[in-house]
Amino acid sequence: MDPVIRQIRQDLKEMADPEIQKSSKRFFKEDICCYGIRTADVVSLAKKYWKEIKNKNKQEIFSLCEELYKSGYMEESFVVSQWAHSLSGRYEPEDLAVFKRWIDTYITNWASCDGLCNHTMGDFIEQYPRIHGRTGTVDAVEEPLDAAGGSSLPDRPGKTREISRRIACNCRPPADRHRRYGAERLRLALKEASRKHTGEVFDFVVRNKKVMPRTALRYAIELMPKELKAEAMKKE
């Protein structure tokens, strides 16, 4: 094991909080493996060790990232997200294959998705929207979508339909992401907000259901109690 990886894991174990670990799991449908550490503290740790590795060859850094991903720990995936984004000035077209493999293999929950796709993939695609290679021209936007399950977004082993949709939304440059996937992101946001703010989301849906697409309405109330779902779906 690389000494930097060994030290990072030792630090993470020392920072782990059983209470945070327990509460973190409530925010995920999927089973997650986590130490129980605040995201801000993991980011600070990633920045600290970035100073030690930033002058390494990029392929060496990718190998370190892969080693972190393989552990399955969510916080280690956050370190990868931070390091991959810190490489943004050094991206090359062939790096798309690396990022595609990571998405296909390691992105299985919304937190690891957002960490990699919002920043690294957004920056990469903004820099290389179309890649010209020996086999022809590749649309860099579509490649990660294929890794997520393609335009039809079917379920894949280890990746739910919701995570596939989230990858599809977030693997875009920021401006394009909001323009082309605003409705999808709104549905995801309402659904996630309803976990802790059921009343507020319910009131919003009731006020706006005359103008909301029926699919968006159903998605927003999916996690609500049956009686609230029935009330929200009533036709006026």
For the chain, how big is the Rg over CA atoms in Å?
20
Contacts of 7 (CB under 8 A, 6+ apart): 49
DSSP state of 158: T
Say yes or no to pLDDT of 55 above 80.
Answer: yes
Contacts of 191 (CB under 8 A, 6+ apart): 219, 220, 222, 223
pTM over 0.75: no
**In this predicted model, what pLDDT tens digit does every residue of 125-178 receive, in sequence order?**
888 876 654 545 555 555 554 444 443 334 445 566 667 767 766 666 555 554
**pLDDT for residue 149:** 42
Average pLDDT, the chain: 79
Per the CB < 8 A criterion, the answer to whether 53 and 61 are in contact is yes
Q: H or E element: which one contains 186?
A: helix 174-193
